[in-house]
Structure 1
């Protein structure tokens, strides 16, 4: 076979490993509890009369609707193909390949590092403390060394929300030196404050949002970057000409309507109730140690039987996420909250596995 691709690819790409998304790891399953998706699929209508035209780069109906929802001005908002594209745009717009670095706080969402490495941008780390809080001394040591600081709050995979004072301190530390990116993909499930209403206070604050989680639109690929108009203008220089397909824009606008938001609020309330029940059920089983907090739509557990249990669940079409390679998370599984029937099947399968183990 030809080795042309290997010969021509960029040197830094040769060492990259693709992000192992839920769909890359498993192609089939009955209960998808490994990608923090909503178990609810809502109905939307689509008008095909505009499909012969290129879509708007930043559809006004989507921008205005989300700006009103988030409490920001339209010029403080950019819509993209998921929050993942927002991460990439920030790195492309503010980091020079082979020269600049970003800062991450593991254990955390893997795409910050993957996106940086894809663009040949360095990755510095300020690991969380054992209680999953920010290590402010480690973060301060990176001042002047990085262009972007990524803070996931609520954090994936720990379900913890970063305390406000730590984020205030981080923003102050990196004033005039770096952008502080607060990823709020799970904010609808959280009890604490959000950071969208702090944009006027910090010109180096960026907030990431998505319709993939609480809105149940992971298949739509629609996310938002919230920042100062000046930062948004930079991102518009590096975004694709038509980032949002016309059907995506139509459905996003419907999801952000008054009726759509009412539906999402009801479903988030239901999921938070199911999350409380699932966490309690897992806590009551001696084989599990429940870690982290409940500010997202998943539960993080540790068990010495991690691999055997996961294999047994996969055999039954119940898919959960192995987090064992992350810092502090040896033998840990992250379990997305499903609907009542999915959670019941999960717990029954867990009980059957441990009954067999002890037989």
Structure 2
């Protein structure tokens, strides 16, 4: 794997953080020391009864080397491009923290989209500029030219693109991502959130990283890899930006048990099983989509490249009551702009999808 073709523009990092070295933890301040006895972190000398072998007695490596290497292997990249965090949510927060001045700069989003982009920005005092997506009743589209114009006009430092999008299920074409990264290369970082990337037909935007130093790709083990409870996400970024993100990260982001789970999930056998689950989910998604489109009161079921379907209906309250009566919970999306009649349905197991079908076909969901 060759190195990056161009340096990351350090002017995009907050000026007050360009020389920031971050917190020097017990695990980072003695790197390479051939130690036999560790007395530098004020840890307990003996293990807890709940952890008799002492596996969790000591603080973990802030960026576990074995896990970083495993992610690098999966993405055919180098370890210096990997930043591991407490789910993608933390990595989103790190990007806003590192690149946007509190009270200044801006981030650009395209609604309807994942709410944490705006939450992280607003908690940081950073303006959020929204460029709404368009839809034709079948699919959604991010207007990347409008996104570019808004980023330039408002001095944005980050553009967030979810691909596949949540809750739209739509992807942003790689060519448009590349063109946007080129157009904003001197001004903003383009972040492509691929939380649902395993379900998409389009290849990952990680394939663009070598040619686009201001592009960042987010991935997670929470969706297709079935480890939402472990809270593990990564950023794939230019090595210079990855270094900055690690410096502004709180110490010890991953617990020892979470790291062990992640390593097991990235073995060849586990990855093959994940792929089998993905294929099953894709088949169920298409089947459930056809069933939903045939229901009275359902006005739109959008094409999806994720593990969920976004559905518009004449009476969303009735649909929510109907499934709730069967003990089924789906996501009410009416709080998002332009989705005042929509719900989002995750694709679960075959048995769960049969239960959903039974609930909906035995009751009318229109007014």
- Per the normalisation by structure 2, the TM-score is 0.82
Residue 90 of structure 2 is aligned to residue 85 of structure 1: yes
Question: Contact 1:75–1:232 (CA<8 Å) still a contact in 2?
Answer: yes
Write out aligned runs for 1:178-327 (5 A).
Answer: 178-327=188-337
Residue 66 of structure 2 is aligned to residue 56 of structure 1: no
Question: Contact 1:291–1:302 (CA<8 Å) still a contact in 2?
Answer: yes
Residue aligning to 2:5: none
Residue aligning to 1:104: 109
Residue aligning to 1:175: 185
Secondary structure of the corresponding residue to residue 151 of structure 1: strand
Question: Contact 1:150–1:181 (CA<8 Å) still a contact in 2?
Answer: yes
Q: Distance in 1 between matches of 2:234 and 2:52?
A: 23
Q: Distance in 1 between matches of 2:171 and 2:156?
A: 23
Structure 1 residues 130-180: Cα deviation after superposition (integer angstroms, max 9, x where no partner): 342222342132244100000000011011111122212211111111000
Secondary structure of the corresponding residue to residue 142 of structure 1: helix
Which stretch shifts more, 136-145 or 116-125? 136-145
Q: Distance in 2 between matches of 1:140 and 1:341?
A: 44
Q: What is the alpha-carbon root mean square deviation over aligned residues?
A: 1.7
Question: Contact 1:184–1:209 (CA<8 Å) still a contact in 2?
Answer: yes
Question: Contact 1:158–1:291 (CA<8 Å) still a contact in 2?
Answer: no
Shift of 1:48: 5.3
Residue 73 of structure 2 is aligned to residue 68 of structure 1: yes
Q: Which runs of 5+ in 2 are unaligned?
A: 1-50
Q: Distance in 2 between matches of 1:329 and 1:174?
A: 30
Give the number of the structure whose alpha-carbon radius of gyration is greater.
Answer: 2
Question: Contact 1:106–1:125 (CA<8 Å) still a contact in 2?
Answer: yes
Cα distance 1:338–1:47, how it changes in 2: closer, same or farther (>3 A)?
farther
Q: Distance in 2 between matches of 1:48 and 1:98?
A: 48
Q: Which runs of 5+ in 1 are unaligned?
A: 1-45
Shift of 1:47: 10
Cα distance 1:47–1:73, how it changes in 2: closer, same or farther (>3 A)?
farther
Give the number of equivalent residue pairs.
312
Residue aligning to 2:34: none
After TM superposition, where is structure 1 displaced by more than 6 Å over at least 4 residues in a row?
A: none
Q: Distance in 2 between matches of 1:47 and 1:275?
A: 45
Question: Contact 1:275–1:337 (CA<8 Å) still a contact in 2?
Answer: yes
